[in-house]
């Protein structure tokens, strides 16, 4: 197998084709008032998500921030996976030595069957290789199946430092704590190793290009009030439901009163994008809500998720052709959202976000 660093370099060069001309040279600088582009799970539209290759590519094609989702191993090391269940993002299902570890758990009230990071030591996880999570949608990404390890959060922070020096700009990082209550009940809290890692890398300070995000408000309060983190915090929301083990609906958190309360410990919100511009009954884009204005009035930034280029993820009217996996008018969608005054956006194809920002 090729040296990992060489593979990363080759991956970055290969990504130049989908990157649109003229978009890479103008990422937002620290202190800029321009909306910032967050590489969702790296550049997950072009590489298997949550791999060093995906994160590096995101930075090279213009992302201001890279986003690692954090879960814990059996030996309490933070690694980057979208969920603790890794059957769909690694080759663990093909490894007979781990077949007996397949199980069913209740994950935030939902029954989930598969293989879970808390049952693997870091050394065992490092023996696995990442695979594309959406192979039917992103067939090109399957070319990279088996090439990349499951990275640790420390490895991501070291990558961030190297790329910041190499690219001549401060690459941000926006980790998300995944299912913090679930891991806390296992005796593997996410907050302690997260804060230790940031402090070890001298990143827990005001002005650092770091956000921590979570769907659980209590998790953010713990980080701010118990761990006294100095970095920015963002509360993620869904269009329906409430945080796990929390009776307060997301909609109530996003009311003017709820936003004001959030601002006592958080610095921003990460709403589902339909909460900023809902879709009409015919799936076309509707009229923007007051959320951006209300959040700004409370002193909170607004960074919606997730923007993807494939037709199946776009509103009607911006799809091109009948193939659900073909690219549609993703630039138009992102320009429309950026013009609402949002402070950034999460996208699987960061180069498209960078271009949309220049047109908004």
Instruction: Give the whole-angstrom CA distance, residue 78 versus residue 90.
Output: 16
- The count of domains in the chain is 1
Please tell me the least confidently modeled range out of 19-33, 85-99, 275-289: 19-33
Residue 303 counted as domain residue: yes
Name the strands in the sheet holding 268-270, side by side, starting at the edge strand that comes first in the sequence. 78-80, 69-72, 176-177, 211-214, 232-236, 268-270, 301-302
Domain membership flag for residue 117: no
Let me know if residue 218 belongs to a domain: yes
Query: What's the whole-model pTM score?
Result: 0.91
* Lowest-confidence pick of 22-26, 77-81, 187-191, 213-217: 22-26
In the predicted structure, residue 20 carries a pLDDT above the cut 80 = no
CATH of the domain at 59: 3.20.20.190
169 assigned to some structural domain: yes
pLDDT digits (tens, 9 = 90+) for 301-329: 999 999 999 999 999 999 999 999 999 99
List the one residue out of 38, 128, 122 whose CA is nearest residue 79: 122
Strand partners, 176: 69, 213
Choose among 190, 267, 196, 189: nearest CA to 231. Answer: 267
Query: For residue 152, what are the domain limits?
Result: 35-82+148-359
Tell me whether residue 192 is in a domain. Answer: yes
Cα gap 11→61, rounded to integer Å: 12
Flag whether 90 is in a domain. no
How far is Cα 103 from Cα 83, in angstroms, rounded to an integer?
Answer: 15
Mean pLDDT of the chain: 92
């Amino acid at each position: 197998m090729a040296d990992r660093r060489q593979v990363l370099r080759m991956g970055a060069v290969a990504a130049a084709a989908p990157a649109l001309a003229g978009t890479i040279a103008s990422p937002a600088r620290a202190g800029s008032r321009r909306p910032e582009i967050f590489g969702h799970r790296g550049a997950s539209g072009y590489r298997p998500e949550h791999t060093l290759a995906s994160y590096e590519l995101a930075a090279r094609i213009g992302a201001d921030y890279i986003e690692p989702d954090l879960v814990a191993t059996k030996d309490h090391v933070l690694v980057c996976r979208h969920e603790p269940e890794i059957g769909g993002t690694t080759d663990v299902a093909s490894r007979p030595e781990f077949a007996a570890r397949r199980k069913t758990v209740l994950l935030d009230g939902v029954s989930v069957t598969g293989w879970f990071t808390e049952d693997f030591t870091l050394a065992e996880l490092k023996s696995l290789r990442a695979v594309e999570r959406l192979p039917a949608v992103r067939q090109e990404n399957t070319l990279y199946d088996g090439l990349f390890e499951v990275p640790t959060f420390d490895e991501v922070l070291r990558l961030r430092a190297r790329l910041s020096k190499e690219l001549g700009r401060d690459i941000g990082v926006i980790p998300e704590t995944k299912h913090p209550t679930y891991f806390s009940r296992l005796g593997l809290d996410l907050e302690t190793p997260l804060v230790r890692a940031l402090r070890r890398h001298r990143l827990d300070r005001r002005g650092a290009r770091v956000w921590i995000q979570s769907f659980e408000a209590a998790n953010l309060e713990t980080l701010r009030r118990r761990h006294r983190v100095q970095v920015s915090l963002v509360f993620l929301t869904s269009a329906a439901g409430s945080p796990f083990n929390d009776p307060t609906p997301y909609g109530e958190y996003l009311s003017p009163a709820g936003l004001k309360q959030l601002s006592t410990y958080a610095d921003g919100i990460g709403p589902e994008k339909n909460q900023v511009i809902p879709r009409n009954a015919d799936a076309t884009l509707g009229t923007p809500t007051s959320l951006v204005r209300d959040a700004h009035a409370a002193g909170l930034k607004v960074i919606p998720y997730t923007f993807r280029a494939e037709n199946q993820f776009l509103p009607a009217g911006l799809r091109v052709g009948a193939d659900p996996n073909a690219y549609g008018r993703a630039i138009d969608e992102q320009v429309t959202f950026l013009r609402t005054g949002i402070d950034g956006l999460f996208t699987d194809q960061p180069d498209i976000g960078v271009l949309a920002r220049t047109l908004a």
